[in-house]
Structure 1
Protein backbone atom coordinates (compact mmCIF):
# COMPACT_ATOMS: atom_id res chain seq x y z
CA UNK A 1 0.00 0.00 0.00
CA UNK A 2 1.12 3.53 -0.79
CA UNK A 3 2.40 5.51 2.19
CA UNK A 4 0.61 8.77 2.98
CA UNK A 5 2.15 9.29 6.43
CA UNK A 6 2.22 12.91 7.62
CA UNK A 7 -0.26 14.04 4.94
CA UNK A 8 -3.76 15.48 5.11
CA UNK A 9 -6.53 14.51 2.70
CA UNK A 10 -10.03 15.85 2.13
CA UNK A 11 -12.67 13.59 0.62
CA UNK A 12 -16.09 14.88 -0.42
CA UNK A 13 -19.11 12.60 -0.54
CA UNK A 14 -17.34 10.63 2.18
CA UNK A 15 -20.42 9.36 3.99
CA UNK A 16 -21.03 6.21 2.00
CA UNK A 17 -20.17 4.14 -1.05
CA UNK A 18 -17.11 5.08 -3.06
CA UNK A 19 -16.32 8.13 -0.92
CA UNK A 20 -16.25 6.10 2.28
CA UNK A 21 -13.81 3.61 0.73
CA UNK A 22 -11.60 6.42 -0.59
CA UNK A 23 -11.46 7.98 2.88
CA UNK A 24 -10.69 4.64 4.54
CA UNK A 25 -7.87 3.92 2.09
CA UNK A 26 -6.37 7.38 2.62
CA UNK A 27 -6.46 6.87 6.40
CA UNK A 28 -5.11 3.32 6.21
CA UNK A 29 -2.14 4.66 4.25
CA UNK A 30 -1.43 7.15 7.04
CA UNK A 31 -3.26 10.34 6.04
CA UNK A 32 -5.43 12.37 8.38
CA UNK A 33 -8.73 12.78 6.55
CA UNK A 34 -11.33 15.54 6.46
CA UNK A 35 -14.72 14.00 5.63
CA UNK A 36 -17.17 16.24 3.78
CA UNK A 37 -20.81 15.50 2.94
CA UNK A 38 -24.25 16.93 3.55
CA UNK A 39 -25.43 14.19 5.93
CA UNK A 40 -23.72 14.45 9.31
CA UNK A 41 -24.74 10.97 10.47
CA UNK A 42 -23.11 9.28 7.49
CA UNK A 43 -19.74 11.01 7.76
CA UNK A 44 -19.75 10.43 11.51
CA UNK A 45 -20.14 6.71 10.74
CA UNK A 46 -17.20 6.91 8.33
CA UNK A 47 -15.13 8.71 10.97
CA UNK A 48 -15.97 6.00 13.51
CA UNK A 49 -14.89 3.28 11.09
CA UNK A 50 -11.61 5.03 10.44
CA UNK A 51 -11.00 5.52 14.16
CA UNK A 52 -11.69 1.83 14.80
CA UNK A 53 -9.09 1.01 12.14
CA UNK A 54 -6.50 3.21 13.86
CA UNK A 55 -6.83 6.29 11.67
CA UNK A 56 -7.71 9.95 12.18
CA UNK A 57 -10.74 11.59 10.56
CA UNK A 58 -12.67 14.83 11.02
CA UNK A 59 -16.33 14.80 9.89
CA UNK A 60 -17.58 18.15 8.61
CA UNK A 61 -21.14 18.43 7.26
CA UNK A 62 -21.40 20.90 4.37
CA UNK A 63 -23.41 21.75 1.29
CA UNK A 64 -20.75 22.05 -1.42
CA UNK A 65 -22.91 24.43 -3.45
CA UNK A 66 -22.59 26.94 -0.58
CA UNK A 67 -19.29 28.71 -1.30
CA UNK A 68 -18.96 30.37 2.10
CA UNK A 69 -19.70 27.11 3.91
CA UNK A 70 -17.05 25.31 1.84
CA UNK A 71 -14.50 27.97 2.69
CA UNK A 72 -15.34 27.55 6.36
CA UNK A 73 -15.00 23.77 6.59
CA UNK A 74 -11.79 23.69 4.57
CA UNK A 75 -10.33 26.33 6.89
CA UNK A 76 -11.23 24.04 9.80
CA UNK A 77 -9.42 21.13 8.17
CA UNK A 78 -6.29 23.24 7.80
CA UNK A 79 -6.45 24.34 11.44
CA UNK A 80 -7.40 21.00 13.03
CA UNK A 81 -5.55 18.53 10.78
CA UNK A 82 -2.99 20.62 8.91
CA UNK A 83 -2.40 21.92 5.38
CA UNK A 84 -4.24 19.86 2.76
CA UNK A 85 -2.04 17.66 0.57
CA UNK A 86 -4.75 15.71 -1.28
CA UNK A 87 -8.24 16.79 -2.31
CA UNK A 88 -10.65 14.17 -3.67
CA UNK A 89 -13.91 15.46 -5.15
CA UNK A 90 -16.06 12.35 -5.03
CA UNK A 91 -19.48 13.95 -4.43
CA UNK A 92 -22.12 13.45 -7.09
CA UNK A 93 -25.78 13.82 -7.94
CA UNK A 94 -27.74 12.02 -10.68
CA UNK A 95 -31.50 12.37 -10.25
CA UNK A 96 -32.70 13.68 -13.64
CA UNK A 97 -33.48 10.78 -15.97
CA UNK A 98 -34.96 10.86 -19.47
CA UNK A 99 -35.09 13.17 -22.51
CA UNK A 100 -34.43 16.77 -21.57
CA UNK A 101 -38.07 17.77 -22.17
CA UNK A 102 -39.22 15.18 -19.63
CA UNK A 103 -36.71 16.19 -16.96
CA UNK A 104 -37.67 18.59 -14.22
CA UNK A 105 -35.51 21.66 -14.99
CA UNK A 106 -34.63 22.27 -11.35
CA UNK A 107 -33.57 18.66 -10.80
CA UNK A 108 -31.52 18.67 -14.02
CA UNK A 109 -29.74 21.86 -13.02
CA UNK A 110 -29.24 20.65 -9.45
CA UNK A 111 -27.28 17.65 -10.79
CA UNK A 112 -25.02 19.98 -12.76
CA UNK A 113 -24.62 22.47 -9.94
CA UNK A 114 -23.77 19.94 -7.23
CA UNK A 115 -21.31 18.06 -9.43
CA UNK A 116 -19.57 20.93 -11.18
CA UNK A 117 -19.97 23.92 -8.89
CA UNK A 118 -19.16 21.82 -5.83
CA UNK A 119 -15.91 20.73 -7.47
CA UNK A 120 -15.08 24.30 -8.42
CA UNK A 121 -15.70 25.52 -4.87
CA UNK A 122 -13.34 23.07 -3.21
CA UNK A 123 -10.58 23.45 -5.82
CA UNK A 124 -10.57 27.24 -5.71
CA UNK A 125 -10.00 27.13 -1.94
CA UNK A 126 -7.43 24.35 -1.80
CA UNK A 127 -5.28 24.98 -4.88
CA UNK A 128 -3.81 28.38 -3.86
CA UNK A 129 -2.45 27.03 -0.58
CA UNK A 130 -1.03 23.99 -2.34
CA UNK A 131 0.73 26.34 -4.77
CA UNK A 132 2.20 28.33 -1.89
CA UNK A 133 3.73 25.12 -0.54
CA UNK A 134 4.74 23.90 -4.00
CA UNK A 135 2.97 20.54 -3.81
CA UNK A 136 -0.43 18.88 -3.79
CA UNK A 137 -2.70 16.57 -5.73
CA UNK A 138 -6.35 17.03 -6.64
CA UNK A 139 -8.52 14.14 -7.84
CA UNK A 140 -11.90 14.82 -9.45
CA UNK A 141 -14.24 11.90 -10.07
CA UNK A 142 -15.96 11.69 -13.43
CA UNK A 143 -18.19 8.95 -14.84
CA UNK A 144 -20.76 8.01 -17.45
CA UNK A 145 -21.05 10.52 -20.27
CA UNK A 146 -17.60 12.05 -19.76
CA UNK A 147 -16.37 11.06 -23.21
CA UNK A 148 -19.52 9.80 -24.91
CA UNK A 149 -23.19 10.63 -25.32
CA UNK A 150 -25.60 9.72 -22.51
CA UNK A 151 -28.99 10.83 -23.89
CA UNK A 152 -31.16 10.00 -20.88
CA UNK A 153 -28.62 11.21 -18.34
CA UNK A 154 -27.78 14.53 -19.98
CA UNK A 155 -27.42 16.61 -16.83
CA UNK A 156 -25.07 14.17 -15.15
CA UNK A 157 -23.14 13.59 -18.38
CA UNK A 158 -22.79 17.30 -19.09
CA UNK A 159 -21.46 17.94 -15.60
CA UNK A 160 -18.96 15.07 -15.76
CA UNK A 161 -17.65 16.09 -19.17
CA UNK A 162 -17.27 19.60 -17.77
CA UNK A 163 -15.39 18.27 -14.75
CA UNK A 164 -13.00 16.44 -17.07
CA UNK A 165 -12.25 19.64 -18.98
CA UNK A 166 -12.07 21.60 -15.72
CA UNK A 167 -9.50 19.09 -14.42
CA UNK A 168 -7.37 19.56 -17.54
CA UNK A 169 -7.59 23.36 -17.21
CA UNK A 170 -6.77 23.23 -13.52
CA UNK A 171 -3.78 20.96 -14.07
CA UNK A 172 -2.41 23.16 -16.85
CA UNK A 173 -2.75 26.15 -14.52
CA UNK A 174 -1.05 24.60 -11.50
CA UNK A 175 1.39 21.91 -12.62
CA UNK A 176 4.34 24.29 -12.98
CA UNK A 177 3.79 25.15 -9.31
CA UNK A 178 3.99 21.51 -8.22
CA UNK A 179 0.23 20.88 -7.99
CA UNK A 180 -1.28 18.14 -10.13
CA UNK A 181 -4.91 17.40 -10.95
CA UNK A 182 -6.31 14.05 -12.09
CA UNK A 183 -9.68 12.72 -13.27
CA UNK A 184 -10.78 9.27 -12.09
CA UNK A 185 -13.66 7.19 -13.44
CA UNK A 186 -14.50 4.60 -10.77
CA UNK A 187 -16.50 2.45 -13.19
CA UNK A 188 -19.98 1.06 -12.58
CA UNK A 189 -20.22 0.64 -8.81
CA UNK A 190 -23.36 -0.37 -6.93
CA UNK A 191 -24.11 2.67 -4.78
CA UNK A 192 -27.14 4.60 -3.55
CA UNK A 193 -26.96 6.53 -6.82
CA UNK A 194 -27.24 3.41 -8.95
CA UNK A 195 -29.93 2.03 -6.62
CA UNK A 196 -32.04 5.07 -7.51
CA UNK A 197 -31.48 4.34 -11.20
CA UNK A 198 -32.45 0.69 -10.69
CA UNK A 199 -35.47 1.14 -8.46
CA UNK A 200 -37.17 4.41 -9.36
CA UNK A 201 -39.88 4.38 -12.06
CA UNK A 202 -37.95 6.99 -14.05
CA UNK A 203 -34.71 5.05 -13.83
CA UNK A 204 -36.38 1.82 -14.89
CA UNK A 205 -38.05 3.58 -17.81
CA UNK A 206 -35.08 5.51 -19.15
CA UNK A 207 -31.96 3.68 -17.93
CA UNK A 208 -32.71 -0.04 -18.31
CA UNK A 209 -29.14 -0.63 -19.46
CA UNK A 210 -27.89 -0.15 -15.90
CA UNK A 211 -29.79 -3.25 -14.71
CA UNK A 212 -28.57 -5.15 -17.74
CA UNK A 213 -24.95 -4.35 -16.93
CA UNK A 214 -25.37 -5.54 -13.35
CA UNK A 215 -27.10 -8.68 -14.61
CA UNK A 216 -24.05 -9.31 -16.79
CA UNK A 217 -21.85 -9.16 -13.70
CA UNK A 218 -20.34 -5.71 -14.27
CA UNK A 219 -20.02 -4.33 -10.76
CA UNK A 220 -16.69 -2.70 -9.93
CA UNK A 221 -15.79 -2.86 -6.22
CA UNK A 222 -15.37 0.66 -4.77
CA UNK A 223 -12.02 -0.46 -3.39
CA UNK A 224 -10.58 -0.37 -6.92
CA UNK A 225 -10.99 3.40 -7.24
CA UNK A 226 -9.98 3.90 -3.60
CA UNK A 227 -6.69 2.02 -4.05
CA UNK A 228 -5.99 3.87 -7.30
CA UNK A 229 -6.57 7.24 -5.64
CA UNK A 230 -4.27 6.31 -2.74
CA UNK A 231 -1.56 5.62 -5.32
CA UNK A 232 -2.28 8.93 -7.05
CA UNK A 233 -1.99 10.74 -3.72
CA UNK A 234 1.40 9.09 -3.14
CA UNK A 235 2.68 10.27 -6.54
CA UNK A 236 2.75 6.94 -8.36
CA UNK A 237 0.93 8.29 -11.42
CA UNK A 238 2.22 11.87 -11.59
CA UNK A 239 3.09 11.58 -15.33
CA UNK A 240 -0.65 11.19 -16.01
CA UNK A 241 -1.63 14.48 -14.36
CA UNK A 242 -4.43 16.18 -16.25
CA UNK A 243 -5.66 12.86 -17.65
CA UNK A 244 -8.23 10.17 -16.97
CA UNK A 245 -7.47 7.12 -14.84
CA UNK A 246 -10.02 4.35 -14.27
CA UNK A 247 -10.95 2.14 -11.38
CA UNK A 248 -10.88 -0.87 -13.71
CA UNK A 249 -7.27 -0.20 -14.71
CA UNK A 250 -4.60 -2.71 -13.76
CA UNK A 251 -2.39 -0.32 -11.80
CA UNK A 252 0.89 -2.08 -12.58
CA UNK A 253 0.09 -2.09 -16.28
CA UNK A 254 -1.00 1.54 -16.13
CA UNK A 255 2.30 2.48 -14.49
CA UNK A 256 4.22 0.62 -17.22
CA UNK A 257 2.29 2.43 -19.97
CA UNK A 258 1.85 5.89 -18.44
CA UNK A 259 4.75 7.64 -20.17
CA UNK A 260 3.58 6.35 -23.55
CA UNK A 261 0.03 7.43 -22.80
CA UNK A 262 1.20 10.92 -21.92
CA UNK A 263 3.40 11.13 -25.03
CA UNK A 264 0.44 10.12 -27.19
CA UNK A 265 -1.82 12.65 -25.42
CA UNK A 266 -4.06 9.78 -24.39
CA UNK A 267 -6.70 9.70 -21.68
CA UNK A 268 -7.68 13.29 -22.50
CA UNK A 269 -10.83 15.07 -23.70
CA UNK A 270 -9.79 15.89 -27.26
CA UNK A 271 -11.04 16.10 -30.82
CA UNK A 272 -9.44 13.58 -33.14
CA UNK A 273 -6.10 14.54 -34.65
CA UNK A 274 -7.62 15.35 -38.05
CA UNK A 275 -10.36 17.49 -36.53
CA UNK A 276 -7.86 19.28 -34.30
CA UNK A 277 -5.77 20.34 -37.29
CA UNK A 278 -8.84 21.87 -38.94
CA UNK A 279 -9.52 24.19 -36.00
Structure 2
Protein backbone atom coordinates (compact mmCIF):
# COMPACT_ATOMS: atom_id res chain seq x y z
CA UNK A 1 0.00 0.00 0.00
CA UNK A 2 2.09 2.89 -1.30
CA UNK A 3 -0.67 5.48 -1.68
CA UNK A 4 -0.82 8.11 1.04
CA UNK A 5 -3.93 9.57 2.65
CA UNK A 6 -2.33 12.15 4.93
CA UNK A 7 -4.80 14.81 5.99
CA UNK A 8 -7.85 12.70 5.11
CA UNK A 9 -10.47 11.65 7.65
CA UNK A 10 -12.31 8.34 7.23
CA UNK A 11 -15.57 7.18 8.80
CA UNK A 12 -15.79 3.37 8.89
CA UNK A 13 -18.93 1.49 9.91
CA UNK A 14 -18.75 -2.01 11.32
CA UNK A 15 -15.15 -1.20 12.15
CA UNK A 16 -14.68 -3.28 15.26
CA UNK A 17 -13.87 -6.60 13.63
CA UNK A 18 -13.49 -8.49 10.39
CA UNK A 19 -13.51 -6.56 7.14
CA UNK A 20 -14.22 -3.22 8.82
CA UNK A 21 -11.30 -3.48 11.20
CA UNK A 22 -8.95 -4.48 8.38
CA UNK A 23 -10.09 -1.57 6.22
CA UNK A 24 -9.84 0.91 9.12
CA UNK A 25 -6.31 -0.23 9.92
CA UNK A 26 -5.25 0.06 6.28
CA UNK A 27 -6.61 3.59 5.95
CA UNK A 28 -4.83 4.61 9.16
CA UNK A 29 -1.58 3.01 8.02
CA UNK A 30 -1.82 5.12 4.85
CA UNK A 31 -2.12 8.29 6.94
CA UNK A 32 -5.85 8.89 7.35
CA UNK A 33 -7.38 9.68 10.71
CA UNK A 34 -10.16 7.15 11.29
CA UNK A 35 -13.47 7.21 13.14
CA UNK A 36 -14.09 3.55 13.94
CA UNK A 37 -17.80 2.97 14.46
CA UNK A 38 -20.14 0.10 15.36
CA UNK A 39 -22.58 -0.84 18.07
CA UNK A 40 -20.05 -2.97 19.99
CA UNK A 41 -18.06 -0.51 22.06
CA UNK A 42 -15.38 -2.92 23.26
CA UNK A 43 -14.52 -4.00 19.73
CA UNK A 44 -14.24 -0.50 18.25
CA UNK A 45 -12.18 0.66 21.21
CA UNK A 46 -9.81 -2.25 20.62
CA UNK A 47 -9.51 -1.35 16.93
CA UNK A 48 -8.84 2.30 17.70
CA UNK A 49 -6.28 1.36 20.33
CA UNK A 50 -4.46 -0.94 17.88
CA UNK A 51 -4.36 1.86 15.30
CA UNK A 52 -2.97 4.30 17.87
CA UNK A 53 -0.40 1.75 19.05
CA UNK A 54 0.80 1.41 15.46
CA UNK A 55 1.33 5.16 15.20
CA UNK A 56 -1.97 6.10 13.58
CA UNK A 57 -4.82 8.29 14.73
CA UNK A 58 -8.27 6.92 15.51
CA UNK A 59 -11.31 7.41 17.69
CA UNK A 60 -14.01 4.90 18.62
CA UNK A 61 -17.64 6.01 18.37
CA UNK A 62 -20.65 3.86 19.14
CA UNK A 63 -23.07 4.15 16.22
CA UNK A 64 -26.23 2.30 15.19
CA UNK A 65 -26.48 2.86 11.44
CA UNK A 66 -30.20 2.07 11.42
CA UNK A 67 -30.83 5.07 13.71
CA UNK A 68 -30.41 8.38 11.87
CA UNK A 69 -29.94 10.35 15.10
CA UNK A 70 -27.14 7.98 16.14
CA UNK A 71 -25.44 8.42 12.77
CA UNK A 72 -25.73 12.20 12.84
CA UNK A 73 -24.30 12.28 16.37
CA UNK A 74 -21.37 10.07 15.31
CA UNK A 75 -20.56 12.36 12.39
CA UNK A 76 -20.79 15.41 14.66
CA UNK A 77 -18.33 13.86 17.09
CA UNK A 78 -16.00 12.94 14.22
CA UNK A 79 -16.03 16.55 13.02
CA UNK A 80 -15.31 17.80 16.53
CA UNK A 81 -12.47 15.40 17.32
CA UNK A 82 -10.89 14.83 13.91
CA UNK A 83 -12.46 16.89 11.11
CA UNK A 84 -15.22 16.40 8.57
CA UNK A 85 -14.81 12.97 6.91
CA UNK A 86 -13.84 12.98 3.25
CA UNK A 87 -13.85 9.17 3.13
CA UNK A 88 -16.80 6.95 4.04
CA UNK A 89 -16.63 3.16 4.25
CA UNK A 90 -20.05 1.50 4.50
CA UNK A 91 -19.26 -1.92 5.90
CA UNK A 92 -21.90 -2.60 8.57
CA UNK A 93 -23.88 -5.68 7.67
CA UNK A 94 -25.61 -8.85 8.84
CA UNK A 95 -26.28 -12.22 7.25
CA UNK A 96 -30.04 -12.02 7.59
CA UNK A 97 -32.36 -15.01 7.86
CA UNK A 98 -31.76 -17.98 5.58
CA UNK A 99 -34.50 -19.97 3.91
CA UNK A 100 -37.06 -19.65 1.14
CA UNK A 101 -39.29 -16.60 0.92
CA UNK A 102 -42.54 -17.45 2.64
CA UNK A 103 -40.71 -19.36 5.35
CA UNK A 104 -38.28 -16.71 6.56
CA UNK A 105 -39.51 -14.18 9.10
CA UNK A 106 -40.39 -10.96 7.21
CA UNK A 107 -39.30 -8.84 10.19
CA UNK A 108 -35.86 -10.41 10.25
CA UNK A 109 -35.63 -10.13 6.46
CA UNK A 110 -36.48 -6.43 6.61
CA UNK A 111 -34.07 -5.85 9.49
CA UNK A 112 -31.25 -6.98 7.19
CA UNK A 113 -32.29 -4.35 4.63
CA UNK A 114 -32.28 -1.72 7.34
CA UNK A 115 -28.72 -2.51 8.41
CA UNK A 116 -27.28 -2.75 4.90
CA UNK A 117 -29.30 -0.30 2.82
CA UNK A 118 -30.87 2.18 5.21
CA UNK A 119 -27.65 2.22 7.24
CA UNK A 120 -25.57 3.09 4.16
CA UNK A 121 -28.10 5.74 3.12
CA UNK A 122 -28.02 7.31 6.58
CA UNK A 123 -24.21 7.51 6.49
CA UNK A 124 -24.08 8.86 2.94
CA UNK A 125 -26.68 11.50 3.83
CA UNK A 126 -24.65 12.55 6.87
CA UNK A 127 -21.35 12.58 4.98
CA UNK A 128 -22.40 14.46 1.85
CA UNK A 129 -22.76 18.04 3.15
CA UNK A 130 -19.10 18.30 4.17
CA UNK A 131 -17.94 16.44 1.06
CA UNK A 132 -19.93 18.78 -1.16
CA UNK A 133 -18.54 21.80 0.68
CA UNK A 134 -15.01 20.47 0.15
CA UNK A 135 -15.69 19.63 -3.50
CA UNK A 136 -14.45 16.07 -3.04
CA UNK A 137 -15.23 12.82 -1.28
CA UNK A 138 -15.17 9.07 -1.78
CA UNK A 139 -17.72 6.51 -0.65
CA UNK A 140 -16.65 2.85 -0.53
CA UNK A 141 -19.48 0.41 0.12
CA UNK A 142 -18.90 -3.26 0.83
CA UNK A 143 -21.17 -5.20 -1.52
CA UNK A 144 -20.89 -8.88 -2.43
CA UNK A 145 -20.84 -11.18 -5.40
CA UNK A 146 -24.16 -12.38 -3.97
CA UNK A 147 -25.65 -9.08 -5.07
CA UNK A 148 -24.98 -9.88 -8.72
CA UNK A 149 -26.96 -13.12 -9.08
CA UNK A 150 -29.94 -14.97 -7.65
CA UNK A 151 -28.99 -16.67 -4.36
CA UNK A 152 -31.84 -19.02 -3.42
CA UNK A 153 -32.55 -19.14 0.32
CA UNK A 154 -30.31 -16.11 0.96
CA UNK A 155 -32.61 -13.42 -0.41
CA UNK A 156 -32.24 -11.08 2.59
CA UNK A 157 -28.49 -10.78 2.12
CA UNK A 158 -28.40 -10.97 -1.68
CA UNK A 159 -31.12 -8.38 -2.23
CA UNK A 160 -29.52 -6.02 0.29
CA UNK A 161 -26.18 -6.27 -1.51
CA UNK A 162 -27.85 -5.79 -4.91
CA UNK A 163 -29.50 -2.65 -3.55
CA UNK A 164 -26.13 -1.36 -2.33
CA UNK A 165 -24.68 -1.77 -5.81
CA UNK A 166 -27.56 0.28 -7.26
CA UNK A 167 -27.25 2.85 -4.46
CA UNK A 168 -23.57 3.28 -5.35
CA UNK A 169 -24.44 3.85 -9.00
CA UNK A 170 -26.99 6.50 -8.11
CA UNK A 171 -24.75 8.35 -5.66
CA UNK A 172 -21.97 8.54 -8.22
CA UNK A 173 -24.28 9.59 -11.05
CA UNK A 174 -25.98 12.28 -8.98
CA UNK A 175 -22.89 13.69 -7.23
CA UNK A 176 -20.03 13.07 -9.66
CA UNK A 177 -20.12 16.66 -10.98
CA UNK A 178 -19.58 17.86 -7.41
CA UNK A 179 -16.40 15.80 -7.01
CA UNK A 180 -17.89 12.79 -5.21
CA UNK A 181 -16.91 9.28 -6.27
CA UNK A 182 -18.64 6.09 -5.11
CA UNK A 183 -17.59 2.45 -5.36
CA UNK A 184 -19.25 -0.87 -4.48
CA UNK A 185 -16.72 -3.61 -3.82
CA UNK A 186 -16.68 -7.39 -3.60
CA UNK A 187 -14.17 -7.93 -0.77
CA UNK A 188 -13.19 -11.54 -1.46
CA UNK A 189 -13.65 -14.55 0.79
CA UNK A 190 -12.33 -13.68 4.22
CA UNK A 191 -12.97 -15.64 7.41
CA UNK A 192 -14.80 -13.37 9.86
CA UNK A 193 -17.15 -13.70 12.82
CA UNK A 194 -20.03 -13.72 10.32
CA UNK A 195 -18.35 -16.65 8.56
CA UNK A 196 -18.07 -18.50 11.85
CA UNK A 197 -21.74 -17.86 12.59
CA UNK A 198 -22.65 -19.19 9.15
CA UNK A 199 -20.59 -22.35 9.64
CA UNK A 200 -22.24 -23.03 13.00
CA UNK A 201 -25.77 -22.30 11.78
CA UNK A 202 -28.15 -25.24 11.18
CA UNK A 203 -30.14 -22.97 8.84
CA UNK A 204 -27.02 -22.31 6.77
CA UNK A 205 -26.28 -26.02 6.46
CA UNK A 206 -29.88 -26.67 5.43
CA UNK A 207 -30.40 -23.74 3.08
CA UNK A 208 -26.96 -22.49 2.00
CA UNK A 209 -24.83 -25.60 1.51
CA UNK A 210 -22.69 -24.08 -1.30
CA UNK A 211 -21.78 -21.14 0.95
CA UNK A 212 -20.89 -23.45 3.82
CA UNK A 213 -18.72 -25.55 1.50
CA UNK A 214 -16.96 -22.42 0.23
CA UNK A 215 -16.17 -21.23 3.73
CA UNK A 216 -15.02 -24.67 4.88
CA UNK A 217 -12.41 -24.70 2.12
CA UNK A 218 -10.88 -21.33 2.95
CA UNK A 219 -7.58 -21.70 4.78
CA UNK A 220 -6.37 -19.12 7.28
CA UNK A 221 -3.51 -18.31 4.92
CA UNK A 222 -5.90 -17.70 2.00
CA UNK A 223 -8.10 -15.57 4.24
CA UNK A 224 -5.13 -13.45 5.33
CA UNK A 225 -4.04 -12.99 1.71
CA UNK A 226 -7.56 -11.93 0.75
CA UNK A 227 -7.59 -9.41 3.60
CA UNK A 228 -4.33 -7.89 2.37
CA UNK A 229 -5.85 -7.49 -1.11
CA UNK A 230 -8.93 -5.84 0.36
CA UNK A 231 -6.79 -3.46 2.39
CA UNK A 232 -4.74 -2.50 -0.67
CA UNK A 233 -7.88 -1.93 -2.73
CA UNK A 234 -9.42 0.20 0.01
CA UNK A 235 -6.40 2.50 0.08
CA UNK A 236 -6.20 2.65 -3.71
CA UNK A 237 -9.86 3.65 -4.01
CA UNK A 238 -9.58 6.16 -1.17
CA UNK A 239 -6.52 7.74 -2.81
CA UNK A 240 -8.28 8.37 -6.12
CA UNK A 241 -6.15 5.94 -8.09
CA UNK A 242 -9.21 4.35 -9.66
CA UNK A 243 -11.59 7.31 -9.78
CA UNK A 244 -12.16 6.64 -13.48
CA UNK A 245 -13.82 3.36 -12.47
CA UNK A 246 -16.18 4.98 -9.96
CA UNK A 247 -19.89 4.41 -10.00
CA UNK A 248 -19.74 0.67 -10.40
CA UNK A 249 -19.19 -2.69 -8.76
CA UNK A 250 -15.55 -3.78 -8.51
CA UNK A 251 -14.22 -7.17 -7.46
CA UNK A 252 -11.05 -7.25 -5.38
CA UNK A 253 -9.76 -10.05 -7.64
CA UNK A 254 -10.14 -8.07 -10.86
CA UNK A 255 -7.11 -6.56 -12.57
CA UNK A 256 -8.16 -2.95 -12.08
CA UNK A 257 -5.05 -1.39 -13.69
CA UNK A 258 -5.76 -3.41 -16.84
CA UNK A 259 -9.44 -2.45 -16.74
CA UNK A 260 -8.50 1.19 -16.33
CA UNK A 261 -6.03 1.01 -19.22
CA UNK A 262 -8.64 -0.66 -21.42
CA UNK A 263 -10.92 2.30 -20.79
CA UNK A 264 -8.25 4.83 -21.64
CA UNK A 265 -7.13 5.74 -18.13
CA UNK A 266 -3.91 5.39 -16.19
CA UNK A 267 -3.39 3.65 -12.86
TM over 0.5: yes
Q: Does the 8 A contact of 2:38 with 2:63 survive in 1?
A: yes
How far off is 1:214 after superposition? 3.2
Q: Does the 8 A contact of 1:89 with 1:139 survive in 2?
A: yes
| Correspondence for 2:258 | 256
| Correspondence for 2:38 | 37
Distance in 1 of aligned mates of 2:92 and 2:100: 24
Residue 171 of structure 2 corresponds to residue 170 of structure 1: yes
Distance in 1 of aligned mates of 2:14 and 2:264: 30
Residue 101 of structure 2 corresponds to residue 94 of structure 1: no
| Correspondence for 1:273 | none
How far off is 1:81 after superposition? 0.3
Q: Provide the secondary structure at the position in 2 that maps to 1:145.
A: helix
How far off is 1:179 after superposition? 0.8
Q: Provide the secondary structure at the position in 1 that maps to 2:102.
A: coil
- Which segment is superposed worse, 162-171 or 208-217? 208-217
| Correspondence for 2:212 | 211
Structure 2, gaps ≥5 residues long: none
Q: Provide the secondary structure at the position in 1 that maps to 2:12.
A: strand
RMSD of equivalent CA atoms: 1.6
How far off is 1:261 after superposition? 5.0
Alignment of 1:25-174 (within 5 A): 25-174=26-175
How far off is 1:225 after superposition? 1.4
Q: Does the 8 A contact of 1:144 with 1:150 survive in 2?
A: no
Q: Does the 8 A contact of 1:239 with 1:259 survive in 2?
A: no
| Correspondence for 2:241 | 236
Q: Provide the secondary structure at the position in 1 that maps to 2:37.
A: strand
Distance in 1 of aligned mates of 2:218 and 2:72: 41
Distance in 1 of aligned mates of 2:145 and 2:246: 20
Distance in 1 of aligned mates of 2:229 and 2:93: 18
How far off is 1:55 after superposition? 0.5
- Which segment is superposed worse, 188-197 or 52-61? 188-197
How far off is 1:262 after superposition? 8.3
Structure 1, gaps ≥5 residues long: 264-279
Q: Does the 8 A contact of 1:143 with 1:160 survive in 2?
A: yes
How far off is 1:189 after superposition? 1.6
How far off is 1:85 after superposition? 1.3
Distance in 2 of aligned mates of 1:6 and 1:230: 14
Q: Provide the secondary structure at the position in 2 that maps to 1:230.
A: helix
Q: Provide the secondary structure at the position in 1 that maps to 2:148.
A: coil
Distance in 2 of aligned mates of 1:195 and 1:216: 13
Q: Does the 8 A contact of 1:18 with 1:223 survive in 2?
A: no
Distance in 2 of aligned mates of 1:23 and 1:142: 17
| CA deviation string 1:81-123 (max 9, x = no partner) | 0121110001111130010122122111111110000000000
| Correspondence for 2:228 | 223
Query: Structure 1 259/172 Cα, relative in aligned 2: closer, same or farther at 3 Å?
Result: farther
